[in-house]
Amino acid sequence: VTTTASPERTESVTTPRPSRRGDRAFATVVRVAALTILVALVAVFVFLAAEGWKGLTSDSATYAPFTSFAGYIAPLIVSTLLASAIALVVSVPFAIAVALFISHYAPRRLGAALGYVIDLLAAVPSVVFGLWGGRYLAGYLQPAHVLWLHDHLGFVPIFGEPSPNGRSLFTAAIVLAIMILPIMTAISREVFLQTPRLHEEAALALGATRWEMIRYAVFPHARSGMVAGTMLGLGRALGETMAVAMVLATTPTTTLDVIGTASPPTIAANIALNYKEATPERQSLLIATGLVLFVVTFLVNVAARWVAGRSARRLAR
């Protein structure tokens, strides 16, 4: 053994030497690629800030019909929050029910296929959702729901004078609800499936019905995942552009009425609708609103990921 050791050692010292340089070069390339991601995120912030800065303090004519940046963006923020809130209220129960259906109710073989059907919803481009929302869903929702909301819940300030063609912030929020359903379902489904088998079987063995088993074994285990999924859905709803831009007929007024014709657009939709008439000052203003949107969605996403931890991360596309 000792006699063969010395030639081996000399060989192991000599042969890898030329390739070390290759190793070092490759490691550097790979590191640079990884750091590019960091740089890109910082660059998004820096460039938006550099261009948007001017938009914060232009002369007051830029903000017409308002007079300051705060006045310009306030109605947009209100609309964004209202639309996202309505979308979440509509979508969360469905997301949880659909996730439960796939994980615990559907026949096992069907489960995976049905999950794929829901994922198909995520594959539909947002512009097609907008087209459908503006041309079909709005007309469908107008008599059935918008009028109904006005007649029965008119005392709530957000259900004011109904839009004659159904193209309102409410309809846009319904489209948003459909669009954020897949991601919320995907996350909830995953955490439901991760419930320890033994907990479920123990609950059933104690005589729990299926619903009681879900309430006492699955939900407590999945709570943080459900919260994370909801927050990711919120992030999507805040930033979704085309569906809102195409469904909404907008005017720059301040109103809380979500079923009327005169709602201000969301921040994202406002950018898409006004980029054309942009003078350099207006362009800076739009970029400044984009910066606000970026910071808000970034924080929402960071919070969501922080809640979800690493376990759910594979699934959020």
Partner 1 sequence: MTTGIMHISHARLPRWAPVLAGAVALALAGLPALLAGWGPLKWVAAAMVVFLVAMPAWSRVVEGRRAAVDRLVTGLIWTAFAIAVSPLVWLLYVVVRSGAPAINTEFLSISMLNVIGDEQGGIYHALLGTLLITVAAAIISVPIGTLTAVYLVEYGKTSRTARIITFLVDVMTGIPSIVAGLFALALLVLLFGPAFRAGIGGSIALSLLMIPTVVRSSEEMMRLVPDDLREASYALGVPKWRTVTRVVLPTSLAGIVTGVVLAVSRVIGETAPLLVVAGATDGVNTNLFDGRMTTLPVFIFSQYASSTPVGYQRAWGGALVLIALVMVLNLIARIVGRMFAPAQGQ
> Under rule CB under 8 A, which residues in 87-116 are in contact with partner 1?
93-94, 97-98, 100-101, 105-106, 114
Out of 120, 153, 156, 206, point to the residue binding partner 1 (CB under 8 A).
120
Contact range with partner 1 by CB under 8 A, out of 69-77, 162-170, 198-206, 264-272: 264-272
The yes or no reply on residue 275 touching partner 1 (CB under 8 A) is yes
CB hemisphere CA count around 317 (13 angstroms): 11
Contact range with partner 1 by CB under 8 A, out of 57-65, 157-165, 216-224, 292-300: 292-300
How open is the CA angle 37-42-47, to the nearest 5 degrees?
125
Closer to partner 1 by Cβ: residue 257 or 267: 267
The yes or no reply on residue 132 touching partner 1 (CB under 8 A) is yes
How open is the CA angle 305-45-289, to the nearest 5 degrees?
95
CB-based contacts of 149: which residues, under 8 Å, 6+ apart? 159, 162, 170, 259
Among candidates 220, 183, 187, which has minimal Cα distance to 309? 187
CB-based contacts of 247: which residues, under 8 Å, 6+ apart? 130, 133, 134, 137, 138, 167, 168, 171, 172, 175
Cα maximum dimension of the chain = 97
Out of 9, 10, 36, 64, point to the residue binding partner 1 (CB under 8 A).
36
Nearest approach, Cβ of 37 to partner 1 (angstroms)?
6
The yes or no reply on residue 283 touching partner 1 (CB under 8 A) is yes
The yes or no reply on residue 219 touching partner 1 (CB under 8 A) is no
Contact range with partner 1 by CB under 8 A, out of 46-54, 145-153, 157-165, 188-196: 46-54
Within 10 A of 23 (CB to CB), how many other CB atoms are there? 10
- CA-based radius of gyration for the chain: 26
Query: Cα(118)–Cα(182) distance, rounded to whole angstroms?
Result: 6
The yes or no reply on residue 294 touching partner 1 (CB under 8 A) is yes
The yes or no reply on residue 15 touching partner 1 (CB under 8 A) is yes
The yes or no reply on residue 64 touching partner 1 (CB under 8 A) is no
The yes or no reply on residue 130 touching partner 1 (CB under 8 A) is yes
The yes or no reply on residue 63 touching partner 1 (CB under 8 A) is no
Out of 37, 59, 61, 277, point to the residue binding partner 1 (CB under 8 A).
37
Contact 216, 208 (CB under 8 A): yes
The yes or no reply on residue 222 touching partner 1 (CB under 8 A) is no
Closer to partner 1 by Cβ: residue 160 or 292: 292
Closer to partner 1 by Cβ: residue 82 or 286: 286
Q: Retrieve residue 108's tokens.
A: 């096992």
Contact range with partner 1 by CB under 8 A, out of 145-153, 162-170, 216-224, 288-296: 288-296
Query: Cα(33)–Cα(70) distance, rounded to whole angstroms?
Result: 39
The yes or no reply on residue 55 touching partner 1 (CB under 8 A) is no
